[in-house]
């Protein structure tokens, strides 16, 4: 058994998963397919189906719900390999089960049996409607309400920038069930709502800088009636559970970021070896070599940090919330810097759509923003430091 | 201390009015569609933007470098694509201004002033980017004319130019000294516009390949002396500051947008700007923008005063502001979160536009090389000169 202080090492099984994910990505996440989907702003359904068939999606679900019974770290390894090969396809695949972990970790048996199995089978996409147009990540002031009326809840309100909003078959929604609760976060509850529910309207959030293969929607609930059974956990538990979901999902975003940065770095190194200026490969120019050295160091540091936090989560170590915030912020900042520098190494060529570098840079920016902005991560870390 | 004269204020008011009334309403749309707005260009020409550097004796505005930079900065604040359109043309006019050939000036300047002719600057080739002396386009003297063969890439205004100022090898055995500059008529037989690039940014500015296939150019269209490329490049050195001015404009545009957003957006019950972390972010952005601005106009003043050797300063004036623009625009997107990432605000476009300035007109790695060499050759000192 490894103690906490032992150096981190992947098991043979984890390395096999990593290798399988890499092979799948190399074979399926092809640049021309990516470019086509990116320009058409289309979710990659065919690749998603294949990834599901091979067990990559929902790998962290127990086998009874169609998963592989793996931990968060295995999910991290898969996500990293997908994003390493292609940022846009990787993000879309990684988020295909977005917020399903809320049902997985906190749902009852009926909810799990009903909502989880379609996810790894490529029968459903999930979403989480947690952000609101006027309140962003501020949980104290959400205005979407769920009022109990007999055997139902009636949902009213708006959520914005919902990942998978336009494509999801079901989504988890954070609502205020008790408007008098103090703090307000103690009066919030989670519900799972299916596509087609009455009064549920989704419109795309608009044109984005990147992550074009992942839909984003603004959602309106207008007298949306849902049965009591759609409430996840007890009334008033929504905020706490959302927080715990965010902790888990920050690692997934960090995995996307590490993959994106690692992929951009590899492409930059390969190009630096074959591109000549002033009679020699550009990697022979020391200034460029040092730039690559800094990029590589950042990627290594982010990856080690992520694997460490992921394995601590899987070992059931509690209270790693601040570390998840740190790794999300750090890895996404690394992805932004490294992908920006990778474009720089490629020069004019890097700026063109012919190569995935410029898209990768645009996709990287999203990892610093979505789920929660890195400013919010700093607040989470700051609160922890104060304690 | 840099203080605007009344004349400069009038000049800025003129550019600002044009930016606000003609460019701003079109920016988002032309970026999204990757469409060069012919109507905007025609209005720019009518207003005189294409003749800003032409001598008054030819009917131009004869702006000095300082005033030119002010205009570029102001236009780039609205739209970098439109700034580069007249800026690149202006750079192409410089070698003509520097040449002693009155005949060439008498022929070309009136065409620019009266017929709104546009000139493109074509130096880069597939194997000669940073290394502009490694070009392969050839110009062979035949019966008093030069015959040009070769392909130039990443040419701004490539598809809309009436003339192309290009470099070509006239004496293959003389290295840099065997390269000359020509002004080629875009209607010449054998001249064609090749592939149009799809780019991360500057999407409303057409970037194309230009192909010379046995293009016959009269010897009178040689700009400067035979083998005059290095001399002209040296003379163009201080022009790098115009890229600095463009970058500065982009950074200012993003900063303005972020500052306004921070004041208006309510978060956690108060305007975003009341968060100290946000204030620090903005403070860092402002410091960088103000420093870049101060330096740019220091260098243009050095140029007006014919300071030599100006190499290091010219490189700094391109490298620093473009690095600033990249950081500031990236931070502006970050500050605005998901809103910043969407195309409803201009900051995401500005972030994409900013990247190119770190790459073109000599990558920032080349600028660092030049600064380094100046230090090595003791052509730069950080101590005040008392001479």
Looking at domain B6-116, its CATH architecture is Orthogonal Bundle (1.10)
pLDDT band of residue A7 (cuts 50, 70, 90) is low
Q: In chain A, what is the straight-line distance between the N-terminal and C-terminal CA atoms, in Å?
A: 32
Q: What three-state secondary structure class fits A125?
A: coil
CB–CB of A361 and B200 under 8 A? Answer: yes
pLDDT band of residue A4 (cuts 50, 70, 90) is low
pLDDT in tens, B176-228: 899 999 999 999 999 999 999 999 999 999 999 999 999 999 999 999 999 99
By C-alpha distance, which of A369, A280, A309 is closest to A333? A369
Q: Selecting from 1.10.10.350, 1.10.10.10, 3.30.465.10, 1.10.540.10, what CATH number does the domain A12-115 have?
A: 1.10.540.10
CB–CB of B198 and A352 under 8 A? Answer: yes
**Residue A351 touches chain B, beta carbons under 8 Å:** yes
**pLDDT at position B359, please?**
96
CB–CB of B358 and A344 under 8 A? Answer: yes
Residue B132 pLDDT exceeds 90: no
CB–CB of A358 and B124 under 8 A? Answer: no
> What's the whole-number mean pLDDT along residues A259-278?
97
A149 CA: distance to closest CA in chain B (Å):
30
Nearest CB among A208, A348, A352 relative to B124 is that of A348
Angle at A329 between CA A326 and CA A331, to 5 degrees: 100
Tell me the percentage of chain B whose pLDDT exceeds 70. 99
Residue B235 pLDDT exceeds 90: no
pLDDT band of residue A2 (cuts 50, 70, 90) is very low
> What's the whole-number mean pLDDT along residues A203-220?
96
Nearest CB among A136, A287, A362 relative to B200 is that of A362
Any idea how long chain B is?
387
Catalytic residues of B: 361
**pLDDT at position A137, please?**
61
H-helix or E-strand containing B168?
strand B163-169
Residue B234 or B43, more confident: B43
- Low-confidence winner among B84-88, B96-100, B121-125, B288-292 (lowest mean pLDDT): B96-100
B242 CA: distance to closest CA in chain A (Å):
19
CB–CB of B338 and A375 under 8 A? Answer: no
Q: Where are the alpha helices (DSSP H) in chain A?
A: 12-28, 31-40, 45-53, 72-85, 87-94, 100-106, 109-115, 238-274, 286-314, 321-346, 357-367, 374-386
CA B148 to chain centre: 26
Residue B340 or B266, more confident: B340
**What secondary structure letter does DSSP report for A276?**
E
> ipTM for the complex?
0.92
From chain B, the residues in CB contact with A336 under 8 A are 330
Superfamily holding B120-227: Butyryl-CoA Dehydrogenase, subunit A, domain 2 (2.40.110.10)
Nearest CB among B201, B277, B344 relative to A378 is that of B277
A76 CA: distance to closest CA in chain B (Å):
24
Class of domain B232-376: mainly alpha
Enumerate the domain spans of chain A.
12-115, 126-237, 240-386
Mean pLDDT estimate for chain A: 95
Tell me the percentage of chain A whose pLDDT exceeds 70. 96
By C-alpha distance, which of B186, B82, B167, B162 is closest to B122? B167
CB–CB of A209 and B342 under 8 A? Answer: yes
Residues B281, B330 contacting (CB under 8 angstroms) = no
A270 CA: distance to closest CA in chain B (Å):
17
From chain B, the residues in CB contact with A291 under 8 A are 365
**Residue A337 touches chain B, beta carbons under 8 Å:** no
The sign of the torsion formed by the CA atoms of B80, B85, B87, B91 equals positive
**Residue A289 touches chain B, beta carbons under 8 Å:** no
Nearest CB among A340, A353, A373 relative to B198 is that of A353
Enumerate the domain spans of chain B.
6-116, 120-227, 232-376
Q: β-strand A170-176 against A126-129: which pairing, if any?
A: parallel
Residues B121, B91 contacting (CB under 8 angstroms) = yes
CB–CB of A373 and B360 under 8 A? Answer: no
**pLDDT at position B3, please?**
86
pLDDT band of residue A295 (cuts 50, 70, 90) is very high
Which site among A35, A88, A132, A136 would you substitute to test the B interface, given the most B Cβ atoms closer than 10 Å to its Cβ?
Answer: A136
Nearest CB among A336, A344, A369 relative to B359 is that of A344
* Chain B contacts in chain A segment 357-376 (CB below 8 A): 358, 361-362, 365-366, 368-370, 373-375
pLDDT band of residue B230 (cuts 50, 70, 90) is confident
**Residue A87 touches chain B, beta carbons under 8 Å:** no
Residue A269 pLDDT exceeds 60: yes
From chain B, the residues in CB contact with A375 under 8 A are 275, 277-278, 281, 334-335, 337
pLDDT in tens, B269-309: 899 999 999 999 999 999 999 999 999 999 999 999 999 99
From chain B, the residues in CB contact with A206 under 8 A are 342-344
pLDDT band of residue B1 (cuts 50, 70, 90) is very low
**pLDDT at position A1, please?**
44
Which site among B337, B370, B372 would you substitute to test the A interface, given the most A Cβ atoms closer than 10 Å to its Cβ?
Answer: B337
Residue A125 pLDDT exceeds 80: yes
The CATH number of the domain covering residues in A126-237: 2.40.110.10
**What secondary structure letter does DSSP report for B21?**
I
Superfamily holding A240-386: Butyryl-CoA Dehydrogenase, subunit A, domain 3 (1.20.140.10)
Residues B18, B44 contacting (CB under 8 angstroms) = yes
- Residue A269 burial class via C-beta count within 10 angstroms: exposed 0-12, middle 13-18, buried 19 and up: middle
pLDDT in tens, A27-84: 999 999 999 999 999 999 999 999 999 999 999 999 999 999 999 999 999 999 999 9
Instruction: For A332, name the nearest residue in chain B, comparing CA atoms only.
Output: B334
Residue A133 pLDDT exceeds 90: no
Q: What three-state secondary structure class fits A327?
A: helix
**pLDDT at position A136, please?**
60
**pLDDT at position B192, please?**
98
Instruction: For A336, name the nearest residue in chain B, comparing CA atoms only.
Output: B330
**Residue A278 touches chain B, beta carbons under 8 Å:** yes
> What's the whole-number mean pLDDT along residues B92-117?
94
Residues paired with residue A148 on neighbouring β-strands, in sequence order: A153
From chain B, the residues in CB contact with A295 under 8 A are none
B200 CA: distance to closest CA in chain A (Å):
6
**pLDDT at position B131, please?**
83
Residue B133 pLDDT exceeds 90: no
Residue B2 pLDDT exceeds 90: no
The sign of the torsion formed by the CA atoms of A263, A265, A271, A274 equals negative
Count A/B contacts: CB-CB distance under 8 Å: 122
CB–CB of A366 and B341 under 8 A? Answer: yes
pLDDT in tens, A326-379: 999 999 999 999 999 999 999 999 999 999 999 999 999 999 999 999 999 999
pLDDT band of residue A6 (cuts 50, 70, 90) is low
Instruction: For A287, name the nearest residue in chain B, comparing CA atoms only.
Output: B365
């Amino acid at each position: 058994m490894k103690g906490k202080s032992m150096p981190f090492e992947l098991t043979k099984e984890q390395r096999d998963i990593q290798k399988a994910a890499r092979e799948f990505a190399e074979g399926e996440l092809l640049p021309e397919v990516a470019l086509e989907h990116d320009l058409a702003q289309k979710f990659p359904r065919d690749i998603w189906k294949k990834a599901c068939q091979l067990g990559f999606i929902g790998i962290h679900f127990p086998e009874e719900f169609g998963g592989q019974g793996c931990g968060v770290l295995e999910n991290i390894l898969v996500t990293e390999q997908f994003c390493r090969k292609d940022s846009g396809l990787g993000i879309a695949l990684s988020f295909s089960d977005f917020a399903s972990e809320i049902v997985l970790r906190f749902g009852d048996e009926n909810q799990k049996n009903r909502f989880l199995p379609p996810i790894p089978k490529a029968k459903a996409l999930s979403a989480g409607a947690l952000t609101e147009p006027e309140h962003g990540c501020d949980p104290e002031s959400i205005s979407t309400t769920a009022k109990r009326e007999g055997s139902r809840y009636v949902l009213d309100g708006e959520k914005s920038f919902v990942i998978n909003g336009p494509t999801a078959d079901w989504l988890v929604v954070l609502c205020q069930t008790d408007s008098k609760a103090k703090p307000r976060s103690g009066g919030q509850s989670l519900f799972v709502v299916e596509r087609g529910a009455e009064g549920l309207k989704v419109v795309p959030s608009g044109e984005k800088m990147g992550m074009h293969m992942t839909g984003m929607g603004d959602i309106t609930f207008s007298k949306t009636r849902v049965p009591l059974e759609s409430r996840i956990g007890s009334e008033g538990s929504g905020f706490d559970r959302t927080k715990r979901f965010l902790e888990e999902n920050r690692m997934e975003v960090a995995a996307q970021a590490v993959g994106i940065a690692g992929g951009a770095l590899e492409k930059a190194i390969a190009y630096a070896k074959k591109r000549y200026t002033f009679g020699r490969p550009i990697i022979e120019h020391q200034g460029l070599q040092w730039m690559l050295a800094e990029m590589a160091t950042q990627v290594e540091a982010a990856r080690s940090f992520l694997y460490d936090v992921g394995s601590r989560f899987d070992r059931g170590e509690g209270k790693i919330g601040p570390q998840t915030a740190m790794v999300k912020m750090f890895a996404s900042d690394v992805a932004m810097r490294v992908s920006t520098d990778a474009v720089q190494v490629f020069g004019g060529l890097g700026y063109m759509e012919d190569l995935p570098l410029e898209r990768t840079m645009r996709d990287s920016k999203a990892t610093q923003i979505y789920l929660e902005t890195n400013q919010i991560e700093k607040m989470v870390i700051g609160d922890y430091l104060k304690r | 201390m840099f203080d605007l004269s009344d004349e400069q204020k009038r000049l800025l008011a003129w550019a600002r009015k044009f930016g606000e009334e003609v460019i701003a309403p079109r920016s988002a749309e032309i970026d999204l569609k990757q469409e060069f707005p012919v109507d905007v260009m025609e209005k720019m020409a009518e207003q005189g933007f294409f003749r800003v550097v032409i001598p008054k004796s030819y009917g131009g505005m004869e702006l000095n470098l300082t005033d030119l930079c002010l205009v570029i900065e102001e236009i780039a604040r609205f739209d970098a694509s439109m700034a580069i359109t007249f800026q690149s043309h202006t750079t192409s006019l410089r070698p003509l201004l520097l040449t002693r050939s009155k005949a060439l000036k008498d022929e070309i300047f009136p065409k620019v002033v009266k017929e709104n002719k546009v000139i493109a600057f074509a130096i880069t080739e597939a194997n000669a980017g940073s290394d502009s002396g490694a070009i392969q386009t050839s110009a062979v003297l035949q019966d008093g004319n030069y015959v040009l063969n070769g392909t130039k890439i990443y040419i701004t205004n490539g598809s809309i130019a009436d003339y192309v100022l290009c470099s070509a090898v006239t004496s293959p055995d003389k290295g840099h000294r065997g390269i000359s500059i020509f002004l080629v008529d875009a209607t010449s037989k054998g001249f064609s516009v090749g592939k149009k690039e799809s780019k991360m940014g500057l999407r409303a500015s057409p970037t194309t390949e230009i192909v010379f296939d046995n293009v016959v150019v009269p010897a009178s269209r040689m700009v400067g002396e035979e083998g005059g490329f290095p001399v002209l490049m040296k003379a163009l050195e201080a022009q790098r500051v115009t890229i600095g001015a463009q970058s500065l404009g982009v950074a200012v545009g993003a900063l303005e947008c972020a500052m306004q957003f921070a004041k208006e957006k309510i978060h956690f019950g108060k305007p975003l700007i009341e968060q100290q972390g946000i204030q620090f972010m903005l403070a860092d952005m402002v410091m960088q923008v103000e420093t870049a601005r101060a330096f740019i106009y220091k260098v243009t003043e050095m140029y007006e005063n014919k300071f030599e050797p100006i190499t290091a300063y010219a490189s700094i004036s391109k490298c620093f502001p473009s690095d600033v623009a990249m950081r500031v625009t990236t931070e502006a997107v970050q500050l605005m979160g998901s809103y910043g990432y969407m195309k409803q605000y201009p900051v995401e476009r500005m972030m994409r536009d900013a990247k190119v300035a770190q790459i073109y007109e000599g990558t920032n790695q080349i600028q660092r090389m030049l600064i380094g060499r100046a230090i090595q050759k003791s052509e730069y000192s950080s101590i005040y000169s008392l001479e």
